[in-house]
Structure 1
Amino acid sequence: MTTSLPRSGQGFLSIILHAHLPYVRHPEHDSFFEENWLFEAMTECYLPLIAVLDRLHADNVDYRLTLSLSPTLISMLRDDLLQTRYLSYLHSRLELAEKEIIRTRKQPEYQKLARLYRRFYLHTLSTYQDRYQGDLLAAFKKHQSTGKLELITTAATHGFLPLLNVSETAVRNQVNTGIAMFKAATGSAPSGFWLPECAYYPGLETVLADAGIAYFFVDSHGIMDASSPPRHGVYAPIACGNGVAAFARDPESSRQVWSAKEGYPGDFDYREYYSDIGFERELDYIAPYILDGKTRINTGIKYHRVTGDNRPKEIYNPRQALAKAREHAQDFVDKRQRQIDRLGATMDDGRQPIIVAPYDAELFGHWWFEGTHWLEWVLRLASESTGGVQLSSCGDYLKQQPSPQVATPAASSWGDQGYSSYWINETNAWIYPLLHKAELQMEKLAHDVQGLTLTPIQTRALNQAARSILLAQASDWPFIMKSGTTIDYANKRVTDHLARFNYLHDCFRKNRLNERYLTALEIMDNIFPDIDFRDYNPSNVRVGFKPARS
């Protein structure tokens, strides 16, 4: 792979998308509602994003973009069962769009949109099935090979690392297992690492350095409150003193996209996410396309725009919305240019500022339907800029710019109130004693069998126990418990994974392993095929271990 350095200029803009979903795969059921999280993201975010990259490549646009792919998402995208179910999902949506074309035959404005959705789903099906043969990861790797897209990754199951740090072994296994999964899937080692929820604690940089990571991201206050006052604020990285650098989120560019009041996605011309025919059509009509024919859910077919001012929702105008997306892209690039103009006067050591703009990938296309088009225009406009703003990856920036100031970032996250309160509070604190107990039991198991000759079934059981530990540690479950969405499901995921661990632990200790039950667990939780339970032996912690670069 060749990587070009950005053109010289007054400053840089680095856009980072973090693509992550929790591991939701239920072969024990014929269908499962929460698997739709993946299918919706594939349809409205990942495939449209690949289409953006394809168009930029076809037009020879000299863009730079960083994409973080979580190991759980990588596993689900490559899973045969989920790929088959995704095709069924698309055919179901096509059938519903056809029904809507018939139903709206006397409502030309609505029928025009129904036809748009039919074209959208037909194109999605053709792209997924015929162009990419169901392998979206290969599409991302193709663009990585051009040097314009940088792929990085995150912790194995997106564990909230500051709250797992009761055991350094737990943190190391989240980091190292995630990197190993990424390397096996992409054939290359990531230079950057997305800390789950951008959650950092002092000392974490040591684990990242041992894993071969060059840089990571924190929220703004992670650098502003660092051990030494940052000379350039959030507009330059700091070096942690061990070969790893920390980049901070720029609050201004984040606010323009994320803010509920000021952010672009709330514009009245954009498609309204919450206005969906799954909640608006008669139950008998919509029953085949909702949960169990009874519980209303989003179908993806939405006819209204945001509208605003508490007025009845007006019909969506795609052409008008796309024009607004280009207008907002120009506004975003212009404001980054003005930022860089201001910052240029403050950089007195030969360093050029970098504006770091990290976002959840699923915002683009899924929550904000026009978001992928906005992103495409931002990348096009910035790449055409003859002024001071140039696109860059953080990896490229470190290669080109002088050595960063040395300091230790402050404990921080990008969650509400900036620390850990969203992931440990009255709704979810109960899970952590259970997680820590299971982790310590896993470590003791790995320690106690050191030097023993294990049977194949014993090795499989211990590896499956390690998978259950990782899956129970996902940050998604405490987040859901706090946000109050699918609380029952989040509770069940934690308790189920811990129950599976406890079952395997007890059966191993009592020498009562049942291969039939073990196989069933391996089928249900088939993630991390190369996991090695021996990594949970604290005496085997490979300090200084660095994954080989490809």
Structure 2
Amino acid sequence: MSIGYLALVLHAHLPYVRHPESDFVLEEEWLFEAITETYVPLLSVFEGLKRDGIDFKITMSMTPPLVSMLRDPLLQERYDAHLAKLEELAEMEVERNTHNGHLRYLAEHYANEFNHVRQVWERYDHDLAIAFKQFQDSNNLEIITCGATHGYLPLMKMYPEAVWGQIEVACQHYEETFGRPPYGIWLPECAYYEGLERMLADAGLRYFLTDGHGILYARPRPQFGTYAPIFTETGVAAFGRDHESSQQVWSSQVGYPGAPEYREFYRDLGWDAEYDYIKPYIMPNGQRKNVGIKYHKITGKGLGLSDKAWYDPYWAREKAAEHAGNFMFNRERQVEHLHHLMQRSPIIVSPYDAELFGHWWYEGPWFLDYLFRKSWYDQNTYDMTHLADYLQQNPHQQIARPSQSSWGYKGFHEYWLNETNTWIYPHLHKATERMITLAQREPVDELEWKALNQAARELLLAQSSDWAFIMRTGTMVPYAVRRTRSHLMRFTKLWEDINQGKIDAGWLDKVAAIDNIFPSINYRTYRPL
């Protein structure tokens, strides 16, 4: 008989990147890589578990930008072409390495993998959001929502209408996609501020996730720390991240992904192959890029990329099985210890970015597969659960007020408000004030209605926390700056045109075709609460 719970939570999110105005934009490949390396492998794991009678349970956010991109016909078409080039390159690699046994073995591995991705992609008619929905319908997967565009909510709290816009639009979009309202929400960047739970309750949400210190510093101090959720005064539950199990997986320094047997992310055929050979598979302007075929393993800490040894999927899979067994063993001991201290069943909440599994840590989906199977067959100390099931089975919890927090650097808001990105916030605040004013209007005709709704879209897209995050990390900064500026400039033109009564219909049609997220949005969501 089990004496505790383990809840894995995956956060599946990408910023909204869609450029019909251009034939090629490198950032669209963020989605394509995630489909190939994370989302299809996760679906394959779920299918295999279901096929073998394993009643697995897992929670996963699917953010509105990600769902919108997964279901967009233009991006589906472009991914189809992207996958076709991967398949072609892998087959060429098989032929090219006929006389090199290990490289041919690796090339065949990739050719088989891309062929499998193709089969899954076509089996679900290119709609992976609905593919995941089937596992929610069977109660194996609990899909939760997020902010409409992953806006960083604590930095909007002076404008409750903006926070409400992020929440309400997300919930409406979720219901349109999955056929029922969402039960839970992954707060963008797990960022919480006191009072946010009132809006979550008004939106019908039952729980949210925060970092561990958001629970540990709650008032009054929770009796069971992060090993039980707390109920806020509104009735909305808050789950806190378990540091021990999280670090064991996500850390490349002390966690599993840094094992020498695992695939090296940073060495890729797109940079290793002779230029004339690889040119058709890199950027149209001739610049090299990662193509997703990687032949080397991590090998050891401190080695340069040129010193990496050949990768072997067989031994990497064996290591993933070993790590899954170790993770299970550690959770058993953790649950036993906590149960003895608490005199009740603890829940260990282990949240991760979904893209860790497959994209960054190539063997991550294998690890999950082994963990579910080992937990099902080889232990009875804990039950794996998703958060909705846990709350239904454990409806009585301590009432407390969580502490302001995030899961970013130093645990608060510094990563999204610093010298690299502080310049964006006066512009975002001004646009928010203007949107709240626009929301008071009643449109005089269909054109103004369309313009008002497009203004709401542009504000939401400008608010994405991804842009501030990228500016802080220092990678792809020009793109993040360009996106922030373009959405703010489009919003400003809409504001001016609406107030002057001179809406440029042709320009509006072009912008609406580019930034077409949330087709059912109603600008009135920004009216004062």
Task: Answer whether TM exceeds 0.5 for this pair.
Answer: yes
Corresponding residue number in structure 2 for 1:526: 516
Corresponding residue number in structure 2 for 1:178: 170
Q: 1:172 to 1:93 in 2, by over 3 A?
A: same
Q: Does 1:215 align with 2:207?
A: yes
Q: 1:473 aligns with which of 463, 478, 501?
A: 463
Q: Deviations over 1:146-192 (max 9, x none)?
A: 11111111010000100111200000000110111011001011111
Corresponding residue number in structure 2 for 1:98: 91
Q: Does 1:497 align with 2:487?
A: yes
Q: 1:516 to 1:306 in 2, by over 3 A?
A: same
8 Å contact from structure 2 (residues 168, 525) kept in 1: no
Corresponding residue number in structure 1 for 2:338: 343
Corresponding residue number in structure 1 for 2:320: 325
Structure 2 Cα separation of the partners of residues 278 and 537 of structure 1:
50
Q: Deviations over 1:42-64 (max 9, x none)?
A: 00000110011111111110211
Q: How does 1:158-307 map to 2 (within 5 A)?
A: 158-307=150-299
Corresponding residue number in structure 2 for 1:12: 5
Corresponding residue number in structure 2 for 1:484: 474
Q: Does 1:383 align with 2:382?
A: no
SS in 1 for 2:416: coil
1:314 is displaced (CA, Å) by 0.7
1:9 is displaced (CA, Å) by 2.1
Q: Residue 454 of structure 1 aligns to which amino acid in structure 2?
A: V
Structure 2 Cα separation of the partners of residues 433 and 242 of structure 1:
32
The alignment yields a C-alpha RMSD, in angstroms, of 1.1
Q: Residue 237 of structure 2 aligns to which amino acid in structure 1?
A: A
Q: Residue 21 of structure 1 aligns to which amino acid in structure 2?
A: L
Q: Does 1:366 align with 2:356?
A: no
Structure 2 Cα separation of the partners of residues 345 and 532 of structure 1:
52
Q: Does 1:404 align with 2:364?
A: no
Structure 2 Cα separation of the partners of residues 189 and 330 of structure 1:
36
Corresponding residue number in structure 1 for 2:127: 135
1:399 is displaced (CA, Å) by 1.8
Structure 2 Cα separation of the partners of residues 215 and 178 of structure 1:
15
Q: Deviations over 1:256-292 (max 9, x none)?
A: 0111211101100011111101111222222221123
Structure 1 Cα separation of the partners of residues 228 and 434 of structure 2:
42
SS in 2 for 1:359: strand
SS in 1 for 2:286: coil
1:126 is displaced (CA, Å) by 2.1
Relative to structure 2, which stretch is displaced further, 438-447 or 118-127?
118-127
Corresponding residue number in structure 2 for 1:63: 56
Q: Residue 297 of structure 1 aligns to which amino acid in structure 2?
A: K
Corresponding residue number in structure 2 for 1:33: 26
Relative to structure 2, which stretch is displaced further, 303-312 or 482-491?
303-312
Segments of 5+ residues of structure 2 without an aligned counterpart are none
Q: Deviations over 1:217-239 (max 9, x none)?
A: 11111011111111011100111
Relative to structure 2, which stretch is displaced further, 377-386 or 490-499?
377-386
Q: Residue 90 of structure 2 aligns to which amino acid in structure 1?
A: A
1:293 is displaced (CA, Å) by 4.0
Q: 1:453 to 1:465 in 2, by over 3 A?
A: closer
8 Å contact from structure 1 (residues 352, 401) kept in 2: no
Q: Does 1:512 align with 2:502?
A: yes
Q: 2:454 aligns with which of 460, 464, 483?
A: 464
Structure 1 Cα separation of the partners of residues 351 and 450 of structure 2:
39
8 Å contact from structure 1 (residues 287, 293) kept in 2: no
Corresponding residue number in structure 2 for 1:547: none
8 Å contact from structure 2 (residues 142, 387) kept in 1: no
Structure 2 Cα separation of the partners of residues 156 and 216 of structure 1:
15
Q: Residue 483 of structure 1 aligns to which amino acid in structure 2?
A: T
Structure 2 Cα separation of the partners of residues 417 and 309 of structure 1:
26
Q: Residue 371 of structure 2 aligns to which amino acid in structure 1?
A: V
Q: Residue 518 of structure 1 aligns to which amino acid in structure 2?
A: L
SS in 1 for 2:222: coil
Q: 1:316 aligns with which of 311, 321, 324?
A: 311
8 Å contact from structure 2 (residues 164, 526) kept in 1: no
Structure 2 Cα separation of the partners of residues 93 and 319 of structure 1:
22
Q: 1:434 aligns with which of 427, 452, 457?
A: 427
- Percent identity, aligned pairs only, is 48
Q: Deviations over 1:359-399 (max 9, x none)?
A: 10000011111100101111111122442211111222222
Q: Residue 121 of structure 2 aligns to which amino acid in structure 1?
A: Y
Structure 2 Cα separation of the partners of residues 201 and 432 of structure 1:
18
Structure 1 Cα separation of the partners of residues 482 and 439 of structure 2:
27
Structure 1 Cα separation of the partners of residues 360 and 115 of structure 2:
21
SS in 1 for 2:145: strand
1:402 is displaced (CA, Å) by 5.0
Q: Residue 197 of structure 1 aligns to which amino acid in structure 2?
A: E
Q: Deviations over 1:13-67 (max 9, x none)?
A: 0001110000000000012110000000000000110011111111110211111
SS in 2 for 1:166: coil
Q: Deviations over 1:475-534 (max 9, x none)?
A: 000000000110000000000000110111111111111111111011001100110011
1:102 is displaced (CA, Å) by 2.7
Structure 2 Cα separation of the partners of residues 309 and 507 of structure 1:
58
Q: Residue 463 of structure 1 aligns to which amino acid in structure 2?
A: N
Structure 2 Cα separation of the partners of residues 517 and 116 of structure 1:
48
Structure 2 Cα separation of the partners of residues 510 and 236 of structure 1:
55
Corresponding residue number in structure 2 for 1:118: 111
Structure 1 Cα separation of the partners of residues 390 and 404 of structure 2:
24
SS in 2 for 1:18: strand
Q: Residue 85 of structure 2 aligns to which amino acid in structure 1?
A: S
Corresponding residue number in structure 2 for 1:416: 409
Corresponding residue number in structure 2 for 1:334: 329
TM-score, normalised to structure 1, is 0.94
Q: Does 1:356 align with 2:346?
A: no
Segments of 5+ residues of structure 1 without an aligned counterpart are 1-7, 542-550
8 Å contact from structure 1 (residues 166, 436) kept in 2: no
Structure 1 Cα separation of the partners of residues 207 and 377 of structure 2:
27
SS in 2 for 1:180: helix
TM-score, normalised to structure 2, is 0.98
SS in 1 for 2:2: coil
SS in 1 for 2:218: coil
Structure 1 Cα separation of the partners of residues 453 and 481 of structure 2:
24
